Structure 1
Amino acid sequence: MQPEPTAELRHRTVEAPAGRLHLVEQGTGPLVLLVHGFPEFWYSWRHQLPALAAAGYRAAAIDVRGYGRSSRPEATEAYRMLDLVEDNVAVVRALGEESAVIVGHDWGSNIAAASALLHPEAFRAVGLLSVPYAPPGGPRPTDVFGRVGGPEQEFYVSYFQEPGRAEAEIEPDVRGWLAGFYAALSGDTMPAGGEPDPHFVTRGGGRLRDRFPAGVLPAWLSEDDLDVYAGEFERTGLTGALNRYRNMDRDWEDLARHRGAPITQPSLFAGGALDASTTWMADAIDAYPTTLPALSASHLLDGCGHWIQQERPQEVNSLLTGWLAGLQD
């Protein structure tokens, strides 16, 4: 089922390099662009749209290219970071604004960071949720991820690289796979310490879902919410979403000239203390005085997993609106 529409939510489609981008906006005032991650779409910001609108902002949550009602280019290379950044700039312009605050979650955090890095004239501040900022550079990503896990396990990022491989696991039962994936990374339902890590697959025919919790939904995800997510991905498939992972080496090459570059605009970070993204990237968080020199604050929410703005909507809303108010001041 689809979420019940309200008079305040405005769906629209704008022209962008992707072809068309669908977005949902609410409120009036300074523009705040919300960018989702994997595997989500605009709906993951359903708690933030009304809160930002009530605080005096024009909140716009996009469907990233490849997701939801936005265009889904066929070519794998059409999902490189540079193209996603240009999509975001096009949205700001299409909405009649010169600049916006951009906030991203998961892959959206990386996309928001790259947007701020490459187009500071269009993005005057950046909020990052769940995935910390790490400047471009370092070894080739697929080389790094290929070594993670050892001879018996394969890291999920490597598993996603081959077109069609992950789709063959996911698409016969989209709803069941999404339920397990969301539960596996949620603070209240993730596997306990010592259980097989759901970020890996067993080499030689294993599947990610073999390690997902079964028969349980996290508290933030109702059956109706799951229906909304499943309905979108059953309609679109997962290839557009997975193609983001398949461009990491292209991104590494495209952004080489920005190796080590800080983001100098005002910034905010919030993550879940139980999220692997924050524990594995603790060094990136520690480096914020150098990499995010205008950081307002960095927050780790106790007991929270990966889906931070859905697991802890009131806390995230309070953090965002307080930070935005400070920017206005």
Structure 2
Amino acid sequence: MDQVVHNFVEVNGVKLHLAEIGSKSSPVVVFVHGFPEIWYSWRHQMIAVANAGYRAIAPDCRGYGLSDPPPETEKFGFSDLVDDLLAIVDSLGIDKISIIAKDAGTRPAYLFALRYPTRVTGVISIGIPHAPFGPATFLKELPEGFYINRWREPGRAEADFGRLDAKTVVRNVYILFSRSELPIASESQEIMDIVGPSTPLPSWFTEEDLSVYGALYEKSGFLNPLKVPYRSMDEEYNIVDPVIKNPMLLIVGEQDYFFKFPGVDDLVKSGMVKYFATDLEVEYVAEGSHFVQEQFPDKVNSLILSFLDKHRSP
């Protein structure tokens, strides 16, 4: 990772950390992370696209990693991440970008494409298909102990996480999210209790990787990462037409627990997802987990580069 350059830009009243690799004259690919991730979760993809002739830029979202927290956590929402993304590319003098996003990072990526379609060459999403934004009705279909229901409750996750150091919290979340079953605690458990202290890390996630994440979450804490995404899911955006018309690729790990959320698997397999993204390709990665881009980087990189090259701007 020595090739990656780290810079900061001041936009919208905060200083944001950017990891970057590749020639400044090359087509730009911006990576948007989810939770519990940071720029580092794109380490394999950044190097691959840079080696293929692209400029890779991966911000830490505000409130995450080395980026500043929002001035007021209670007012922090997904719209801030969209505004930050626009301000970053404007501050760097970049006209058009391809966006690669995962998990909660897909929402600001989709919103950016809907609001600024002429600034987007294409969108690659990992794990979460695009659908019209609205209240998360599936939460009512899942038990009280479902992790999102718990984490949306003010103070609940803070107390749960606060029993452990940041590195252990990230370890436990990575283990939970790498499984194919939904993370659901019993009435007598908190979410962190689901993972035992002797449970091994996934084979593709090293202790060195965990140390990088742990150090960054030690700095940022978890308050803002809990606010966005989990406590901002009902945010409204005033989007008139929710259909993305830019070229899109959805990469799905076949063992991703997210596809056990009510309605998600059917949305994709029925083809209905293409009503909301009219130029969409879907690719499955066998045995892929929620962290498919870290688990099978070569497979994911091949899919990414094929899409980027097909839609490459002159």
TM above 0.5, yes or no, is yes
User: In 2, Cα distance between the equivalents of 1:311 and 1:48?
Assistant: 12
Q: Give the deviation of 1:183 after TM superposition.
A: 1.6
**TM-aligned CA distance change 1:18 to 1:321, over 3 Å:** farther
**TM-aligned CA distance change 1:263 to 1:77, over 3 Å:** farther
Q: Give the deviation of 1:147 after TM superposition.
A: 4.1
The one of 275, 278, 282 aligned to 1:293:
278
Q: Give the deviation of 1:94 after TM superposition.
A: 1.5
Percent of aligned positions with the same letter in both sequences? 34
Deviation per CA, 1:139-182: give whole Å up to 9, x if none.
x32x5414421xxx422222112333212212333222221221
State the partner residue of 2:6.
11
Deviation per CA, 1:265-300: give whole Å up to 9, x if none.
0000101101122343113323132111111x2112
**TM-aligned CA distance change 1:207 to 1:18, over 3 Å:** farther
**TM-aligned CA distance change 1:231 to 1:24, over 3 Å:** same
Residue aligned with 1:85, SS: helix
The one of 238, 242, 246 aligned to 2:231:
246
User: In 2, Cα distance between the equivalents of 1:26 and 1:156?
Assistant: 35
1:160 correspondence with 2:145: no
Aligned pairs for 1:170-209 within 5 A: 170-171=161-162, 172-186=164-178, 190=179, 199-203=183-187, 205-209=188-192
**TM-aligned CA distance change 1:258 to 1:80, over 3 Å:** farther
What TM-score results when the alignment is normalised by the length of structure 1? 0.87
Q: Give the deviation of 1:10 after TM superposition.
A: 1.1
State the partner residue of 1:211.
194
How many residue pairs end up in the alignment? 304
**Does structure 2 conserve the Cα–Cα contact (< 8 Å) formed by 1:164 and 1:239?**
no
Aligned pairs for 1:89-238 within 5 A: 89-137=86-134, 140-141=135-136, 144-149=138-143, 153-171=144-162, 172-186=164-178, 190=179, 199-203=183-187, 205-212=188-195, 214-238=198-222
**TM-aligned CA distance change 1:258 to 1:77, over 3 Å:** farther
User: In 1, Cα distance between the equivalents of 2:284 and 2:15?
Assistant: 35
Residue aligned with 2:288, SS: coil
Deviation per CA, 1:231-253: give whole Å up to 9, x if none.
1111221011111111112x2x3
- Which runs of 5 or more residues in structure 2 are unaligned? none
The one of 317, 321, 327 aligned to 2:301:
317
| Paired amino acid for 1:148 | L
Residue aligned with 2:16, SS: strand
1:263 correspondence with 2:244: yes
**Does structure 1 conserve the Cα–Cα contact (< 8 Å) formed by 2:182 and 2:257?**
no
Deviating more after overlay: 281-290 vs 83-92: 281-290
Q: Give the deviation of 1:18 after TM superposition.
A: 5.3
State the partner residue of 1:27.
22
Q: Give the deviation of 1:208 after TM superposition.
A: 0.8
User: In 2, Cα distance between the equivalents of 1:78 and 1:59?
Assistant: 30
Q: Give the deviation of 1:198 after TM superposition.
A: 5.1
**Does structure 1 conserve the Cα–Cα contact (< 8 Å) formed by 2:182 and 2:258?**
no
**Does structure 1 conserve the Cα–Cα contact (< 8 Å) formed by 2:33 and 2:101?**
yes
User: In 2, Cα distance between the equivalents of 1:321 and 1:311?
Assistant: 17
Q: Give the deviation of 1:114 after TM superposition.
A: 1.5
User: In 2, Cα distance between the equivalents of 1:198 and 1:176?
Assistant: 20
**Does structure 2 conserve the Cα–Cα contact (< 8 Å) formed by 1:31 and 1:101?**
yes
User: In 1, Cα distance between the equivalents of 2:11 and 2:140?
Assistant: 34
**TM-aligned CA distance change 1:50 to 1:311, over 3 Å:** same
**Does structure 2 conserve the Cα–Cα contact (< 8 Å) formed by 1:27 and 1:57?**
yes
| Paired amino acid for 1:208 | I
Residue aligned with 2:245, SS: coil
**Does structure 2 conserve the Cα–Cα contact (< 8 Å) formed by 1:116 and 1:124?**
no
- Which runs of 5 or more residues in structure 1 are unaligned? 192-196
